[in-house]
Structure 1
Amino acid sequence: MNAPLPLSATEGSEAEALFQFETGAPEGARSALGMNATRVGDAVVLSMRNDPTQFWSKALGFGRTAPVTSGMIAEVCAFYRAEGTPQAVLQLAPSVLPEDWTEICAREGITGGSSWVKLVADVDEVVARADDPDRRQADGLLAAPVEPGEADRWASVMMRGFGMPEEHYTEMVAASAVHPDWYPHAVWLDGELVGTGTMYRSGESAQLFAGAVLAHARNRGGQSELLAARARVAGTLGCRLLVAETGTEADGSHNPSLHNMLRLGFHVAYERRNWLWQPAT
């Protein structure tokens, strides 16, 4: 995996996963959260007007089939203004930023925010490392696929794991658990569902999503077990590539999720800035 991967793999899998995750929510949740979505060129544009977490309004997947232009960004921002979105994040791989990006940002009210790390891994390598008998095993935890009857409880744990509200959000999350392109997993501790992770299949790529463990069950290897379990399923599906994202380590911070992935064979493809859009006041 030394050659640069196409954006259709690194950005496309995430964009299409998030688009399906949000647009697949039941109508009641979509209405309560003020959800809407569109496509601008090859980018997906997601708005959640009534989102106190300010996480779910995102535009991403840019530059997969055509260069990013000022007109494209203007159309994205116009959509958010029309929706009354209080804040949105534009996520563009560094290689697709246009030369006039500084001027575009000044014109549209976009400012630089934190950065994420885009990670990729060969499915076979992750499975081999996960099955290495010398690998540290989880302490009393078991990771396995989620049965349909556990979807609501699984969704609740995911929201609590990320510190997000449960009302309406759990309906969105639970809907993904029964979609044929999603493969939800959970981790149990003594019969209690204490962690979540899911995976979206896109061709030969598998997008990892929403890995979280409740506070009282952390530091026992749960996230690594969730990574390993999903990698094994990806292998059975014929996927060759795993794709994931997590926060960068800045100012001496430590991100356990990043190190868990690196230990299992993930590689950093690039860092990607979060560009914040807010309407003019």
Structure 2
Amino acid sequence: MNPRFSERIFPTHEDAIEAAAFVSLHRLSPEHLRAEEDFGCLVINGGCAISLPSAPAIGLNRVLGLGSVEDLDKAYKWMRARAGNRFLQLNMDAVSDEVRNWIQTKGLPEHGPGWAKLTRSAPFSNLDAPVSVLARRVQGDESLLFGSMMCKGFNFPPSLAALWSTIVGKEGWSCFFALDDETPIGTGAMYVSGSYAWLGGGTTVPEFRNRGVQKALIQARTDCGIAQGVLTFAVETEVPSTDKPNISYDNLRKMGFQHAYDRKNFKL
């Protein structure tokens, strides 16, 4: 047994808040959408397995926040019975030898470059990252627009707009638009539980990219979170490389986020 693993609590706080956000997303989703889209979620010891077959993204078809073979077995069996994409995310620098052997025994191949987890702690110092785009909270009567923009940004079927619309105004959630004058051109969401917040749902209308929209949405959400007593913000994005730079990662670093660890994606 890896001694670092035996002393480590799974999931980490950074993974736990992310898992909690997706558990909440499933709980709040309309019953008809869960039935029609076969949207399922299994909660296991602070982590979860989530499956939305009609969504192409890894984020809604994965196992996260688990660190024991027993828990991974439960999630694996549940996911293997599901349709669509299926992935497992693990920080391989923190897992036990037993888990490494489990992955090899299952024959799970790595998929893509993996995800980087970044965090930022409050209070914030001043940053040399001026924000020129305005952002504001999404109003209740704009929930459908918010959901539709999210689907377009993530290339989801329009039928899933109700999934993202449902979190607007709900407990724990804060949703934002970035604006060009008064017209929404980008979206961002934040889920808060205790002193931790997860940032997600960041999209920008294609013709308005590279204008500071992401920075504006990061600033608006962190300001909102601090007002709610958040001490640590967590977010994830694709691991950058010299062959494939990641603008999202670079923007987060410019906004004061620090790299915490990487998670590899394994195909189930």
Query: How many aligned residue pairs are there?
Result: 260
Q: Please tell me whether residue 166 in structure 1 is matched to residue 164 in structure 2.
A: no
Alpha-carbon distance between aligned partners in 2 of 1:135 and 1:223, rounded to the nearest angstrom: 12
1:41-67 per-position Cα deviation (integer Å, ceiling 9, x unaligned): 33211122343445411111124xxxx
- TM-score, normalising length from structure 1? 0.85
Unmatched runs of 5 consecutive residues or more in structure 1: none
Paired with 1:197 and 1:174, the residues of 2 have a C-alpha distance of 12
Post-superposition offset of 1:12: 0.5
Matches within 5 A, 1:173-188: 173-188=164-179
Do residues 156 (structure 1) and 148 (structure 2) align?
A: yes
What amino acid sits opposite 2:83 in the alignment? Answer: T
Provide the identity percentage: 24
Taking the aligned partners of 1:87 and 1:164, their CA distance within structure 2 comes to: 14
Is 1:136 aligned with 2:125? no
Letter in 2 for 1:232: D
How far did residue 102 of structure 1 move? 4.1
8 Å CA contact 1:77, 1:108 repeated in 2: no
Match of 2:74 in 1: 75
Question: Contact 2:134 / 2:179 at 8 angstroms: preserved in 1?
Answer: yes
Q: Deviations over 1:96-119 (max 9, x none)?
A: 422033432243342212311100
Mapping of 1:15-164 within 5 angstroms?
15-53=19-57, 55-63=59-67, 68-69=68-69, 71-82=70-81, 84-113=82-111, 114-125=113-124, 128-129=126-127, 135-138=129-132, 141-164=133-156
2:17 pairs with 4, 13, 20, which one? 13
Classify 1:55/1:231 alpha carbon distance in 2 versus 1 (closer, same or farther; 3 Å): closer
Q: TM-score, length-normalised on structure 2?
A: 0.89
Letter aligned with residue 25 of structure 1: S
Q: 1:62 touches 1:96 (CA, 8 Å); kept in 2?
A: no
CA distance in structure 1 between the aligned counterparts of 2:58 and 2:172, rounded to whole angstroms: 26
Cα offsets for 1:64-98 (capped at 9, x unmatched): xxxx12x322221111233x333311112234422
User: Which of 220, 232, 237 is the aligned partner of 2:223?
Assistant: 232
Gaps of 5+ in 2: 1-7
Contact 2:129 2:255 in 1 (8 A): no
Query: What amino acid is aligned across from residue 88 of structure 2 in structure 1?
Result: L
Deviates more, 1:18-27 or 1:264-273: 18-27
